[in-house]
Structure 1
Amino acid sequence: MRPLLTPGQPAHFHSYKETRMKHSQLLRRCALALALCGITGAGLQAKTPDDQLVIGFSMNNLLTLDPASATGNDVVEIAANLYDFLIELDPQNTSKMLPGLAESWKISPDGRSITLSVRKGVKFQSGQALTAEDAAWSLQRVLKLNLALASPWKAYGFTAGNVDKAIRALDAQTLVIDLPEPTDPKMVLYTLATSVSAVVLDRKKVMENDKNGDMGAAWLTTHAAGSGPFALADWRAKDVLLMNRFDGYWRGPAKLKRVIMRHMTESQSLRLMVDRGDLDVASGMSAPDVEAMKKNADVVVKPVRRGTLYYVAVSMKNPTFADKRVRLAIRNLIDYEGINTSVMPNYGILHQRPVQMGLPASLPNPGYKFDLPAAKKLLADAGFPNGFKTTIRVLADPPFINIATSLQSTLAKAGIEASVISGTGNQVYGAMRERNFDIIVGRGGGGAEPHPHSSLRALVYNPDNRDEAKLTNFQGWRTSFFSPELNQLIEKAEVERDEQKQTATYQEAQKLYDSQVGAIQPISQMVDTVVMRKDVSNYQGHPAATTRLREVFKQR
């Protein structure tokens, strides 16, 4: 177990000298990247090239570029610039769908079929014409490979066995998606607009690189075959990713010639490089560094609200937490106000419901507060007048570790002695997937799709609570929270065609979850803070992480 940290303290601390040394090393690596792009030493000043965008962020979770298996927000922005989606979401109003490769679409009266009209004249970066056949094949490939990104499609009832029939091209410009099971077709459209699995691949190019029937999976790990505004030039894992402008892009060439993405994990190094002008855009800075950047007249700080939620989760496989009174006591022992005031600025906004804020079905916060007397009474009624011992698993990074130490402190006030076990994502969420934990401080939810079903399916819904069901994509299953009544409400709302009735049913589901004291208690909705130089224009961070760079330029 790593040493515990106090709330607000960075997870990793380096002296100023160490930070400057790391900064120098990063500058040398950035110089190498620029040299690879054909920029001579004359351009290596504390000012990035006028026609290139240099972005710094952590690529620790960027493991593959294959749209069938690439998970996490880090890859979404990359995919949104290398590829095209059939549909896009308005970054200002994510419930508003905009045409992408699909000029238009219509839903059948019974809600069981979607027909999309694919625009003519689009070419892949290889020169091949893009057709509805490519779009159908790209989605079929995801199901047939059955890798990580097949999950949302399987939730709609698609399988490797039925996908060829369910998703098909009627002709070069017409794509039909028949829904195998009743669901809200808007959810499918939102998934087409937000999931990396929904990008359209150059079928011919990918299959030229097929190895032993893998449909190009090995090749696509480090390559791309898209029609987007930028083409992949090079990717070196945990180092650098280079994208060059595709001049044949159907919307017209992007304003920038090149995008350079640098792998950077140290917040202080990010801050120094933005401050000096060596980076144009940075994300992943710690809250103190973001606050410092707000005082820099040459820098703009832009918060982007995401749909995912920070939460405290308990395992109901543990008999202690199976007791509703104990779960309610834990709910009363979270210092929501203190955490959101001292820890979450630039990371999140107070939110206590399992459905993200800003949707028609979103309910106001129920107003949970730290209430020690109520918690102590509940624990005594449950047979724990002196508390008990437990563990809190958490990522070693802020703000997670800071939330955990706050929770550790407030639990102790009621006699609950909680040991904090910090680790990597696999160590924390791996234990959760195996249903082998007590308490976890984590982050999750549907997030990308602006629809209540996305959040409830991810955090609450659990159709089969047996261990052997292994529904690891459902965080409700991971916590062993099982409510047939709640499942029925969520299923009813999903297929309700009347929007007002659907909204009311989703709200009823949230109230029921509140009364049943679910195993996952949201505490804050995620904010992703982007820091950029003032001369960067038209950069608009997208709530679904599909941040597109085709219109970005530098006003110098």
Structure 2
Amino acid sequence: MKMLRAALLATALSLPLAAGAVYAATPADALVIAQNIDDIVALDPAQAYEFTSGEINTNVYDRLVGYEAEDTTVLAAGLASEWVADDAAKTITFTLRDATFASGNPVRPEDVVFSFSRVIKLNLTPAFILAQLGWTPENIADMVTIADGKVVVKYEGDFSSAFVLNVLASRPASIVDEVLVMEHAEGEDLGNAWLNTHSAGSGPFVMSDYRPAEIVRLTANESYFRGAPAMKSVIIRHVAEAATQQLLLTSGDVDLAKNLTPDQIAGLPADTVKVETYPQAAVHFLSFNQKTESLTPPAVWEAARYLVDYDGMTQSFLKGQMEIHQAFWPKGFPGSYDETPFTHDVEKAKQILADAGIETPINVTLDVINSAPFTDMAQSLQATFAEAGINFEILPGTGAQVITKYRDRTHQAMLLYWGPDFMDPHSNAKAFAYNSDNSDGNYTATTTWRNAWAVPQELNDQVTAALAESDQAKRNEDYIAIQKEVQANSPIVIMFQAALTIAMANNVEGYVNGATSDFVYYRLVTKN
């Protein structure tokens, strides 16, 4: 009977979803997921830049160092068993552990050199993350070398080895099997076309099947150096409709549903399904363009922090989608500042404005992406800010229209979100606390420049110093201090951190979902 049920599941997963289709319960050694995966453009870690791509990469590739499933807040040894950093010489020397790729080929220092070099030479979307280290196609052979069987990484720039380690924990720093990849290279593509439909890693799983907008099948790597996963396969099925995901989960045909709406979550049967909420890296904020004179007084910035109905939004239409977070670095990572000192207090906001002699009403346009939950958030802000005499005229637009206006600095107030490019606090500190040249001609992809906020030189210096700090504990303290300053005194009102709510069968244990798609782990999953 068990073999029959497994065969029925395999048949169902090989066919498109259709009305009236019949499914069997999932096998004990397979994790079956219903998820919208049509965002995948590329799976080669040198090119992959989408959410689902990151999730797949994390489960099939290892990096020298990384944030692992056991504790996603601690930078841990990966393929490197140890390393020695020399901040004065700007080098880090990595000793590799005894590990093998899923192909059976040994993981060699040459594979590390090849992996980093191909990212820089291919120069596809995520290459900029590694290029921050001063690496170019012309110098990469000198920047990543082998000495006495160890990998020596050199870097250029005024930053510390702590920053470099976080860069090397990012997706494009995944180590690929040079021998296997080059067997499938076409012309000068360094295996890029092949890696977009196959995997060549040493991680806990192998990508054994990928059909765009249909299915991703991962198979356990029995030789994984941390031990083979309990799940012999992970099957991620493309299910675009949330209602269909809900049906498959409640009928026992999938183990996880990743894209359910709050209403669907609320209606799930507690006896067979459990719901877990995971903070995500994106922070949502309201910002004021300093080219708008009425928005330049610091008293307006301070009052604004007390005019946001944080609880009202997160307990209603944002429930399960966001949680209150008032600092620029997301909760759950080293260097985060998680205190939330501001609450909805209209009388206090009025008093702040009155004490500063601010005349009201202040009439301001508010740009917002024309989709939920952004329009709902804008309407809430419009209602609460009006109580203190700050009147928002909501200007909805497409994402492209809103972001283009933001980049051009032609907005007045803006409701948007921001996520880090890699998990180092400098990624967001640069965006929210640094702006050394506020001139119109110095386009910079930061919230500070886009809001024409000439950051005080003292704060600029703090960001620069934190980037160069070699002691990780001290570095975290520095970023917390920077966040406190931005939280208290800037034209950027950080309100929420995104949250992801995932429903799963009650018998699923050990699923790990960190703050980004790069921190989704299946290797600890068991089914009781």
- Report the TM-score when normalising by structure 1: 0.81
Whether 2:504 is the aligned partner of 1:529: answer no
Q: CA deviation at 1:201?
A: 1.5
Q: CA deviation at 1:85?
A: 2.0
Whether 2:523 is the aligned partner of 1:550: answer yes
Distance 1:374 1:389, change over 3 A: same
For the aligned residue pairs, the C-alpha RMSD in angstroms reads 3.4
Distance 1:97 1:391, change over 3 A: closer
Name 1:176's counterpart in structure 2: 152
In structure 2, C-alpha distance between the alignment counterparts of 1:50 and 1:535, rounded to whole Å? 10
**Cα contact 1:138–1:198 (8 A) shared by 2:** yes
Q: CA deviation at 1:275?
A: 1.1
**Cα contact 1:405–1:420 (8 A) shared by 2:** no
In structure 2, C-alpha distance between the alignment counterparts of 1:454 and 1:327, rounded to whole Å? 24
Equivalent residue for 2:219, pick from 244, 247, 256: 244
Secondary structure of residue in 1 paired with 2:142: helix
* Residue deviations 1:6-34 (CA, integer Å, cap 9, x gap): xxxxxxxxxxxxxxxxxxxxxxxx97662
**Cα contact 1:106–1:115 (8 A) shared by 2:** yes
Secondary structure of residue in 2 paired with 1:406: helix
Equivalent residue for 2:266, pick from 291, 302, 312: 291
Unaligned stretches of 5+ residues in structure 1: 1-29, 38-42
Distance 1:165 1:410, change over 3 A: same
Equivalent residue for 2:26, pick from 22, 26, 48: 48
Equivalent residue for 2:64, pick from 68, 72, 86: 86
Unaligned stretches of 5+ residues in structure 2: 1-8
In structure 2, C-alpha distance between the alignment counterparts of 1:196 and 1:204, rounded to whole Å? 20
In structure 2, C-alpha distance between the alignment counterparts of 1:252 and 1:488, rounded to whole Å? 45
Name 1:277's counterpart in structure 2: 252
Distance 1:347 1:218, change over 3 A: same
Distance 1:397 1:242, change over 3 A: farther
Q: CA deviation at 1:111?
A: 7.4
Name 1:371's counterpart in structure 2: 346
Q: CA deviation at 1:335?
A: 1.6
Whether 2:163 is the aligned partner of 1:190: answer no
**Cα contact 2:204–2:229 (8 A) shared by 1:** yes
Distance 1:237 1:94, change over 3 A: same
In structure 1, C-alpha distance between the alignment counterparts of 2:437 and 2:130, rounded to whole Å? 19
In structure 2, C-alpha distance between the alignment counterparts of 1:462 and 1:497, rounded to whole Å? 23
- Report the TM-score when normalising by structure 2: 0.84
Q: CA deviation at 1:180?
A: 1.0
Equivalent residue for 1:386, pick from 361, 368, 372: 361
Name 2:479's counterpart in structure 1: 506
In structure 2, C-alpha distance between the alignment counterparts of 1:69 and 1:412, rounded to whole Å? 46
Distance 1:161 1:457, change over 3 A: farther
Quote the sequence identity (%).
29
In structure 1, C-alpha distance between the alignment counterparts of 2:134 and 2:297, rounded to whole Å? 34
Distance 1:87 1:277, change over 3 A: same
Superposition map of 1:450-465 within 5 A:
452-465=425-438
Name 2:330's counterpart in structure 1: 356
Whether 2:420 is the aligned partner of 1:442: answer no
In structure 2, C-alpha distance between the alignment counterparts of 1:58 and 1:405, rounded to whole Å? 29
Name 2:6's counterpart in structure 1: none
In structure 2, C-alpha distance between the alignment counterparts of 1:510 and 1:58, rounded to whole Å? 35
Q: In structure 2, give the amino acid aligned to 1:129.
A: P
In structure 1, C-alpha distance between the alignment counterparts of 2:86 and 2:335, rounded to whole Å? 24
Equivalent pairs, count: 512
**Cα contact 1:90–1:97 (8 A) shared by 2:** yes
In structure 2, C-alpha distance between the alignment counterparts of 1:326 and 1:209, rounded to whole Å? 60
Distance 1:465 1:402, change over 3 A: same
**Cα contact 1:328–1:375 (8 A) shared by 2:** no
Q: In structure 2, give the amino acid aligned to 1:459.
A: F
Distance 1:395 1:313, change over 3 A: farther
Equivalent residue for 2:91, pick from 104, 113, 134: 113
Name 1:206's counterpart in structure 2: 181
**Cα contact 1:379–1:385 (8 A) shared by 2:** no
Distance 1:299 1:361, change over 3 A: closer
Q: CA deviation at 1:348?
A: 2.7
Whether 2:13 is the aligned partner of 1:34: answer yes
